[in-house]
């Protein structure tokens, strides 16, 4: 009975969002409305039924159909969008010589910002006096620690060279199906090769080349229409995802680890400020920049999926920031699988600083700090090689420092809440890398950036 009542209320909230859409409200307004409704609805269920209630579990089981279904649809369009966008952009620009510069500059910015993020993690952890000694290990924490010890075996034998090799598309059809953790990067590389090959055909066989260009124009328009259809569902997905996060959280767990949560979000806030300062250095108004990317960050925050945010990431860079299709695709794709400022930069560094005192290491020792930053930066480049975001980043860093892996399981109870902020910062980092690259390469359209009109695919009606 109570589950049915809750689902009826959820259906009414969806109807409210649909009315907003029919009233032609912008995507940004609908996204923030859905975020607020999700928080209120989830908190209300917590208040009425109590944390861990069977009623809440039963309700979220059905609410999750909307949330997980939306994320799945986003993942469905990632590979087609990347493929046709990169091929089409290369053909349109008719310049393959700049691809190496774009890739190198984008990856370099991602790695550099990850190194600074690690330093921020070290400083914030010491400022808040974080230590693993004061955290109580319950049954869940011990089980998580044992699971991490087991997963470490899949990381231990993987060298840096193996990670690089895994980026190459040995079987592009398998990568288009997302069969590997590095499939996204592999598809980017495969698409770039197709684009360069297409350019060669256009130059050597004009008639065939014209047909190929026409085919790519049709393919791009079809995929863009598909993207518009899926992104129009964003408010409904965010409503469901936010309801699940708030209603499924345990207040006691949050309070017991409140110090770590506050420290984490202070660190994430500082990283976001760093991104705004960096874009300001290349002539971008940081306040306008933040306003334009907020809907993407909101989705990343609620979904906890950097990969799922790729379509919205690309559309925002192209249609709102004017970064150009090639650079936008490269930065969004690379940023979802390497150099993640939140998951691969801040988080492992904070864990290492927390664990250091328990094994007799001074976390303020300059040698330890430099070693930690170097390991975090290098390992962030290869996170995609093992696939698993923050958890695998922590495994690689802690194992490289000979620190106990099991202690990483101490934070399992608040992991989802912290991961929301980390994912948003990851996406912000990829957009920042794309924006800086576009400005330095002279491929940014400032007229699009200065425009206040949301004339992009995200504002289309369902």
Residues 271-290 have pLDDT tens digits of 999 999 999 999 999 999 99
At 124, the pLDDT band (50, 70, 90 cuts) reads very high
Q: Which has the closest alpha carbon to 412: 264, 253, 289?
A: 253
C-beta of residue 434 within 8 angstroms of C-beta of residue 317: yes
pLDDT digits (tens, 9 = 90+) for 178-194: 777 778 888 888 988 99
Q: Which has the closest alpha carbon to 117: 332, 294, 379, 382?
A: 379
Q: Higher confidence at residue 209 or residue 161?
A: 209
Task: Please report, for the domain that includes residue 59, its CATH number.
Answer: 1.10.3860.10
pTM above the 0.85 mark? no
Q: Higher confidence at residue 8 or residue 380?
A: 8
At 412, the pLDDT band (50, 70, 90 cuts) reads low
**Backbone phi, then psi, for 25, in 5-degree steps?**
-70, 150
What is the DSSP-derived secondary structure letter of residue 166? T
Separation of alpha carbons 393 and 400, rounded Å:
11
Percent of residues, the chain, with pLDDT higher than 90: 34
Separation of alpha carbons 130 and 125, rounded Å:
5
Name the residue range of residue 348's domain.
2-459
pLDDT digits (tens, 9 = 90+) for 393-406: 787 888 788 887 76
Instruction: Please give the pLDDT value at position 462.
Output: 36
What is the sign of the dihedral through the CA atoms of 170, 172, 177 and 181? Answer: positive
Q: Which has the closest alpha carbon to 166: 397, 386, 388?
A: 386
What is the DSSP-derived secondary structure letter of residue 168? S
Separation of alpha carbons 64 and 398, rounded Å:
34
Please, which residues have CB within 8 angstroms of residue 329's CB and are 6 or more apart in sequence? Answer: 82, 85, 86, 89, 188, 314
Separation of alpha carbons 399 and 384, rounded Å:
17
Separation of alpha carbons 403 and 218, rounded Å:
54
Q: What is the mean pLDDT of residues 17-42?
A: 86
Instruction: Please give the pLDDT value at position 387.
Output: 45
C-beta of residue 443 within 8 angstroms of C-beta of residue 325: no
Look-up of token digits 């290492």: 352
Instruction: Please give the pLDDT value at position 101.
Output: 86
Instruction: Please give the pLDDT value at position 5.
Output: 92
Q: Which has the closest alpha carbon to 443: 452, 430, 434?
A: 434
Provide the number of structural domains found in the chain.
Answer: 1
Instruction: Please give the pLDDT value at position 159.
Output: 64
**C-alpha triplet 219, 334, 350: angle, nearest 5°:** 150
Please, which residues have CB within 8 angstroms of residue 214's CB and are 6 or more apart in sequence? Answer: none
Helix (H) or strand (E) holding 392: helix 389-400
pLDDT exceeds 60 at position 134 = no
Q: What is the mean pLDDT of residues 328-350?
A: 87
**C-alpha triplet 179, 182, 185: angle, nearest 5°:** 115
Lowest-confidence range among 40-44, 87-91, 121-125, 314-318? Answer: 87-91
Look-up of token digits 């590389």: 189
Find the distance separating the first CA and the last CA of the chain, reported in whole Å: 32
pLDDT exceeds 70 at position 264 = yes
- Token pair, residue 366, equals 């300059």
pLDDT exceeds 50 at position 375 = yes
C-beta of residue 284 within 8 angstroms of C-beta of residue 450: no
Look-up of token digits 């569902």: 233
What is the DSSP-derived secondary structure letter of residue 6? H
Torsion of CA 334, 338, 339, 344, to 10 degrees: 150
Q: Higher confidence at residue 382 or residue 178?
A: 178
- Token pair, residue 328, equals 């936008």
List the alpha helices (DSSP H) in 23-166.
27-49, 54-93, 99-127, 139-156, 160-165
C-beta of residue 415 within 8 angstroms of C-beta of residue 408: no
Please, which residues have CB within 8 angstroms of residue 299's CB and are 6 or more apart in sequence? Answer: 31, 234, 237, 238, 308, 309, 312
């Amino acid at each position: 009975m109570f589950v049915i009542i809750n689902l009826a209320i959820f259906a009414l909230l969806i109807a409210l969002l649909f009315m907003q859409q029919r009233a032609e409200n912008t995507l940004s307004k609908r996204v923030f409305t859905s975020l607020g409704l999700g928080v209120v609805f989830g908190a209300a269920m917590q208040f009425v039924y109590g944390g861990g209630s069977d009623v809440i579990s039963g309700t979220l089981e059905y609410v999750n159909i909307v949330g997980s279904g939306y994320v799945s649809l986003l993942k469905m369009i990632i590979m087609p969008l990347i493929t046709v966008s990169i091929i089409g952009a290369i053909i349109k620009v008719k310049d393959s010589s700049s691809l190496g510069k774009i890739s190198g500059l984008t990856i370099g910015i991602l790695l550099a910002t990850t190194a600074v993020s690690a330093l921020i993690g070290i400083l914030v952890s010491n400022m808040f006096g974080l230590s693993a000694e004061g955290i109580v290990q319950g049954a869940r924490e011990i089980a998580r620690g044992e699971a991490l010890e087991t997963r470490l075996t899949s990381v231990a034998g993987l060298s840096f060279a193996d990670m690089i090799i895994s980026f190459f598309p040995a079987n592009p059809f398998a990568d288009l199906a997302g069969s590997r953790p590095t499939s996204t990067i592999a598809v980017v590389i495969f698409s770039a090769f197709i684009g360069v090959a297409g350019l060669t055909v256009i130059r050597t066989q004009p008639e065939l080349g014209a047909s190929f260009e026409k085919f790519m124009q049709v393919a791009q328009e079809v995929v863009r229409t598909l993207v518009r259809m899926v992104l129009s569902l964003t408010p409904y997905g965010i409503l469901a995802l936010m309801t699940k996060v708030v209603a499924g959280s345990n207040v006691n767990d949050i309070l017991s680890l409140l110090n770590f949560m506050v420290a984490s979000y202070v660190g994430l806030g500082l990283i976001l400020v760093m991104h705004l300062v960096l874009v300001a250095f290349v002539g971008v108004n940081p306040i306008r920049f933040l306003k334009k990317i907020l809907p993407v960050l909101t989705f990343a925050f609620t979904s906890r999926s950097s990969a799922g945010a790729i379509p919205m990431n690309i559309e925002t860079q192209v249609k709102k920031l004017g970064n150009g299709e090639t650079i936008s695709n490269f930065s969004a794709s690379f940023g979802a699988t390497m150099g993640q400022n939140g998951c691969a930069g801040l988080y492992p560094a904070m864990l290492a600083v927390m664990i250091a005192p328990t094994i007799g290491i001074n976390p303020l020792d300059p040698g330890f700090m430099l070693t930690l930053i170097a390991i975090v930066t290098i390992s962030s480049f290869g996170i995609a090689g093992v696939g698993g975001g923050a958890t695998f980043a922590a495994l690689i860093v802690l194992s490289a420092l000979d620190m106990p892996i099991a202690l990483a399981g101490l934070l399992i109870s608040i992991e989802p809440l912290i991961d929301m902020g980390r994912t948003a910062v990851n996406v912000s980092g990829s957009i920042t890398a794309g924006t800086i690259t576009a400005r330095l390469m002279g491929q940014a359209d400032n007229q699009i950036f200065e425009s206040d009109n949301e004339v992009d695919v995200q504002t289309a009606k369902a």
